[in-house]
C-alpha cells in the first residue's frame, strides 16, 4: 500500500508557499521523503508565476499571513487560474471565520500552527483522496450529459410564464452570433441559460467560462488573451487564452461588471475587430467566438458611476435576457425542489416526497440566494431525511437547532428519533449524522461541513473527539 501511494505521489507536484524559509524547508523535506516532487515560493505572486508555467502542480499548501498577497487572495487567484487545483491553508492565527473563508475560496483543509509533519501528510492524503472522488463523479456526470445532450431543455424546470418566455427567446436567438447579456441576481441560473444557448446554437467549439471578478487585472488579461513565452516572469511557455480556447464555440464572461476599466477598453477592441493579440505578442489572431456576458449589477448605474464603459455596454447589450429571481416565479419552486430531490436522492432508495407543510414553507420562503440556495437546501435534506417524506425540520436541520423530536425523558438526556427507532442521545445522533454525511461525500470535510451547516473546524474537532480523524477521507 505504501508503494502504491508513493507511485501516485510521483505523478504530480506540491507547491509550498510561505514567507518563512524554515517552514518552506521543513515542508519540502517531509514531502520529498514521502515521495512528492516539491516546488516552493516565498510569496503569492511567485506562486502564481509557478502555476502559470507548470500544469503538473496538483496541490498547493499556503500560509495565511504573508507579505504582499495574503493566503486568501492567493487561493482566489489560484482557483480562477487553475479551477482543479487543490489547496491547504496553514496559519498560526486561525479562527472559525478564517477557516470558513478559506474553504469558500477552495481550500480543502486547514492546518493550525504548530502542527506535526504527520498532520501535513494526513491532510495531503485527505485532500487528494477527496479530489479523486470528485473527479470520478464529474466524469460520470459528463458522460451522462453527453448521452442526453440532444434532449431539449433537459436542465430546465420552467413552470412559470416568466421563465418560459426567457427560454423561448433563447431558442430564437441561439443560432445567431450576436452578443448576449444575461442579467439577474446571483443564483438565478444565468450560467445555465448561457450553456443552454450554446448547446442550441449549433456551434461545434467548446463552451468556455471565465469569472472576471476572480482575477487581478494583470492575470485577467493573460487569461483572456493568452501570452507568449517570456512575456513576464514565470511565462516559460506560450499559453492560449480563453478566447482561443473557445474557438468555434462560446465564451462566457461571468460578472463582466467587475472587469477593470483598462481591460474593458481592450475587450471592446476585440469585439469590434474580432481578433486578439496575446500578451507579449505582436501578431493578431482572428477569432470565431460567440460572447455571452453576465452581471448581477445594474450596468447603467455602473456607467453613471464611471465604473463601466458605455460603449462596451452597447456592444454587449445586443440581446438582453433578464433572468427573474425565484421569488418572482413561485410556480417554479416546487417543481425545482422535486427535480433536485430526484437529482440528489440517495442511491438505491426511492426519492422522498415533499410533505404538504414543506411545500407551503418552500413557497413562502423569500429565497435571497435564489435557485442555488434551494438546490443546496434540497441536497442537504436528501442526505439527512430518514423517512419517506421531506419535512421542514429536514430543511432547517443544524446542530444548534435540532429538529423537533417526538419524545424526551424528564432530564432530556435521551430522545426518540423521528422514525420511532431505538432511543438515542443527541451526541449519538450528531455522530451518526456526521459519519453518514462523510460517507456520502467520500470523506470530503469541506462538503460535509457545507451540507450540515457547520464549520470545517467543527467537523475536525468532532472526528478527533470520536477518535476517527486518522481514517477520515479513506
**In-domain check, residue 148:** no
- The string of pLDDT tens digits covering residues 24-61 is 888 988 888 888 889 999 998 889 988 887 778 889 99
DSSP state of 286: E
Same domain, 93 and 202: no
Among 27-36, 80-89, 110-119, the range scoring the smallest mean pLDDT is 110-119
Same domain, 178 and 300: yes
C-alpha cell at 270: 476585440
Same domain, 44 and 167: no
DSSP state of 412: -
Q: What is the CATH number of the domain that holds 212?
A: 3.40.50.300
How many Å apart are CA 263 and CA 271, to the nearest integer? 12
Among 182, 157, 163, which residue's Cα sits nearest to residue 250? Answer: 182
Rounded average pLDDT over 156-184: 90
Same domain, 172 and 235: yes
Give the CA distances from residue 33 to residues 4, 27, 36, 38, 117, in Å, rounded to whole numbers and listed in that order: 15, 10, 7, 10, 11
Query: Which three-class secondary structure state does DSSP give residue 389?
Result: strand
How many Å apart are CA 113 and CA 352, to the nearest integer? 44
**In-domain check, residue 152:** no
**In-domain check, residue 155:** no
- The string of pLDDT tens digits covering residues 405-423 is 333 333 333 333 334 444 4
Of 206 and 219, more confident? 206
**In-domain check, residue 153:** no
**pTM score, two decimals?**
0.56
Same domain, 367 and 421: no
How many Å apart are CA 274 and CA 425, to the nearest integer? 66
Contact by Cβ (8 Å): 79, 219: no
Rounded average pLDDT over 67-78: 85
Q: What is the CATH number of the domain that holds 373?
A: 1.10.8.60
Contact by Cβ (8 Å): 174, 200: yes
Of 8 and 360, more confident? 360
Helix (H), strand (E) at residue 453: none
- At residue 93 the predicted structure's pLDDT band, cuts being 50, 70 and 90, is low
How many Å apart are CA 38 and CA 20, to the nearest integer? 16
Give the CA distances from residue 369 to residues 285, 328, 340, 365, 366, in Å, rounded to whole numbers and listed in that order: 40, 13, 16, 11, 9
Q: How many domains does the chain have?
A: 4
Rounded average pLDDT over 368-372: 90
Same domain, 165 and 203: yes
Domain's final residue, options 374, 397, 420: 397
Domain containing 12: what range? 2-140
Q: What is the CATH number of the domain that holds 441?
A: 1.10.10.60
Of 2 and 82, more confident? 82
Our CA dihedral for 48, 50, 52, 55, rounded to 10 degrees, sits at -130
Among 89, 385, 400, 473, which residue's Cα sits nearest to residue 463? Answer: 473
**In-domain check, residue 418:** yes
- Provide φ and ψ at 377, rounded to 5°: -65, -40
> In the prediction, which pLDDT does 397 show?
46
Our CA dihedral for 72, 234, 213, 223, rounded to 10 degrees, sits at -150
Rounded to the nearest angstrom, the gap between the alpha carbon of residue 202 and the centroid of all alpha carbons in its chain is 28
Amino acid at each position: 500500500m505504501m508503494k502504491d501511494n508513493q507511485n501516485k505521489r510521483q505523478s504530480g507536484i506540491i507547491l509550498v508557499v510561505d514567507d518563512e524559509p524554515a517552514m518552506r524547508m521543513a515542508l519540502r523535506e517531509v514531502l520529498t521523503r514521502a515521495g512528492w516532487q516539491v516546488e516552493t515560493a516565498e510569496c503569492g505572486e511567485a506562486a502564481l508565476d509557478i502555476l502559470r508555467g507548470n500544469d503538473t502542480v496538483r496541490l498547493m499548501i499556503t500560509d495565511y499571513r504573508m507579505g504582499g498577497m495574503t493566503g486568501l487572495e492567493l487561493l482566489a487567484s489560484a482557483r480562477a487560474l487553475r479551477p482543479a487545483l487543490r489547496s491547504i491553508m496553514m496559519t498560526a492565527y486561525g479562527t472559525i471565520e478564517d477557516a470558513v473563508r478559506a474553504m469558500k475560496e477552495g481550500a480543502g483543509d486547514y492546518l493550525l500552527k504548530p502542527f506535526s509533519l504527520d498532520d501535513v501528510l494526513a491532510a495531503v492524503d485527505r485532500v487528494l483522496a477527496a479530489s479523486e472522488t470528485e473527479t470520478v463523479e464529474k466524469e460520470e456526470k459528463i458522460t451522462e450529459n453527453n448521452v442526453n445532450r440532444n434532449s431539449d431543455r433537459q436542465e430546465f424546470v420552467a413552470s412559470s410564464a416568466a421563465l418560459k418566455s426567457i427560454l423561448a427567446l433563447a431558442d430564437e436567438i441561439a443560432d445567431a452570433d450576436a452578443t448576449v447579456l444575461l442579467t439577474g441576481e446571483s443564483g438565478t441560473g444565468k450560467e445555465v441559460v448561457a450553456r443552454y444557448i450554446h448547446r442550441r446554437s449549433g456551434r461545434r467549439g467548446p463552451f468556455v467560462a471565465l469569472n472576471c471578478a476572480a482575477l487581478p487585472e494583470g492575470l485577467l488579461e493573460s487569461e483572456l488573451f493568452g501570452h507568449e513565452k517570456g512575456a513576464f516572469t514565470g511565462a516559460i511557455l506560450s499559453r492560449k487564452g480563453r478566447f482561443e480556447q473557445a474557438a468555434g464555440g462560446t465564451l462566457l464572461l461571468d460578472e463582466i461588471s467587475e472587469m477593470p476599466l483598462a481591460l474593458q477598453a481592450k475587450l471592446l477592441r476585440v469585439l469590434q475587430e474580432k481578433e486578439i493579440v496575446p500578451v507579449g505578442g505582436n501578431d493578431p489572431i482572428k477569432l470565431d467566438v460567440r460572447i455571452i456576458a453576465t452581471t448581477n449589477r445594474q450596468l447603467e448605474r455602473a456607467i453613471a458611476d464611471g465604473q463601466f464603459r458605455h460603449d462596451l455596454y452597447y456592444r454587449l447589450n445586443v440581446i438582453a435576457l433578464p433572468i427573474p429571481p425565484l421569488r418572482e416565479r413561485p410556480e417554479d419552486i416546487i417543481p425545482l425542489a422535486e427535480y433536485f430531490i430526484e437529482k440528489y436522492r440517495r442511491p438505491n432508495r426511492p426519492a422522498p416526497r415533499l410533505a404538504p407543510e414543506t411545500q407551503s414553507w418552500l413557497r413562502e420562503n423569500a429565497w435571497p440566494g435564489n435557485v442555488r440556495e434551494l438546490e443546496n437546501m434540497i441536497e442537504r435534506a436528501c442526505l439527512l431525511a430518514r423517512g419517506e417524506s421531506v419535512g421542514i425540520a429536514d430543511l432547517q436541520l443544524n446542530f444548534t437547532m435540532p429538529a423537533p423530536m417526538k419524545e424526551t425523558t424528564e432530564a432530556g438526556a435521551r430522545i426518540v428519533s423521528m422514525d420511532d427507532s431505538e432511543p438515542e442521545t443527541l451526541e449519538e445522533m450528531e455522530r451518526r449524522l456526521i459519519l453518514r454525511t462523510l460517507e456520502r461525500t467520500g470523506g470530503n470535510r469541506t462538503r460535509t461541513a457545507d451540507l450540515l451547516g457547520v464549520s470545517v473546524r467543527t467537523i475536525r474537532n468532532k472526528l478527533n473527539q470520536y477518535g476517527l480523524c486518522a481514517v477520515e477521507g479513506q
